[in-house]
Amino acid sequence: PNTLLLTFSPSSHSMVKLPPMMEIITAEQLMEYLGDYILDAKPKEISEIQRLNYEQNMSDAMAILHKLQTGLDVNVKFTGVSVFEYTPECIVFDLLDIPLYHGWLVDPQSVEVATAVGNCSYNQLVEKIISCKQSDRSELVSEGFIAEQFLSGTATQLTYHGLSELTTSLQEGELCVFFRNNHFSTMTKYKGLLYLLVTDQGFLTEENIVWESLDNVDGDGNFCDSEFHLRPPSDPVVVYQGHQDQIDQDYLIALSLQQEQQNQDIDWEQIPEGISDSELAKKLQEEEDRRASQYYQEQEQAPAAAPHSPGPHPTKCFTFFFL
Q: What is the pLDDT of residue 14?
A: 41
What 3-state DSSP class applies to 318? coil
* % of the chain beyond a pLDDT of 70: 66
Helix and strand numbers, DSSP H then E, in the chain: 10, 8
DSSP class of 305: P
4 part of a folded domain: no
Residue 174: inside a domain, yes or no? yes
Query: Exposed, middle or buried, 104 (CB in 10 Å: 0-12/13-18/19+)?
Result: buried
**Strand order across the 223-224 sheet:** 100-102, 175-180, 183-190, 193-197, 211-213, 223-224
Query: Which residue segment(s) compose the domain that 125 sits in?
Result: 74-267+276-298+312-323
Is residue 192 assigned to a domain?
yes
Task: State how many domains the chain has.
Answer: 1
In the prediction, which pLDDT does 37 show?
A: 77
pLDDT at 290: 60
Distance, CA of 21 to CA of 306 (rounded, Å): 37
Quick one: pLDDT at residue 312? 31
Establish if 47 belongs to a structural domain: no
pLDDT of residue 305: 38
For the chain, residues with pLDDT lower than 70 are 1, 4-5, 7-17, 68-71, 234-323
Tell me, yes or no, whether 206 lies in a domain.
Answer: yes
- Residues 212, 218, 224, CA angle at the centre, nearest 5°? 10
pLDDT in tens, 78-134: 999 999 998 877 888 888 888 999 999 999 999 999 999 999 999 999 999 999 999
pLDDT of residue 298: 56
DSSP codes joined into one string, 217-267: TT----EE-TT--B---SSHHHHHHHHHHHHHHHHHHHHHHHHHHHH----
Alpha carbons 47 and 76: distance in angstroms, whole number = 32
Residue 213 is assigned to a structural domain of this protein: yes
Contact predicate 214/196, CB 8 Å: yes
Residue at 69 is within a domain: no
| 3-state DSSP percent of the chain in helix, strand and coil, to 5 | 50, 10, 40
CA-to-CA dists, residue 108 to 76, 119, 122, 127, 188, angstroms: 17, 12, 17, 22, 26
Q: How many CB atoms lie within 10 A of CB 188?
A: 22
Q: Which residues pair with 197 in a beta bridge?
A: 211
CA neighbor of 291 nearest in space, from 253, 320, 245: 253
CA distance 148 to 132: 10
Strands 100-102 and 175-180: parallel
Q: According to the model, what pLDDT value does residue 11 have?
A: 45
C-alpha to C-alpha distances, 99 to 49, 173, 177, 241, nearest whole angstrom: 25, 13, 6, 31
DSSP letter at 321 equals G
pLDDT given for residue 260 in this prediction: 52
Q: At what angle are helices 122-133 and 236-263 packed, to 10 degrees?
A: 50
Sorted by sequence, the CB contacts under 8 Å of residue 158 that are 6+ apart come out as: 103, 104, 180, 217
List C-alpha distances in Å: 75 to 24, 34, 87, 159, 253.
31, 23, 8, 17, 17
Of 310, 305, 309, 316, which Cα lies nearest the Cα of 202? 316
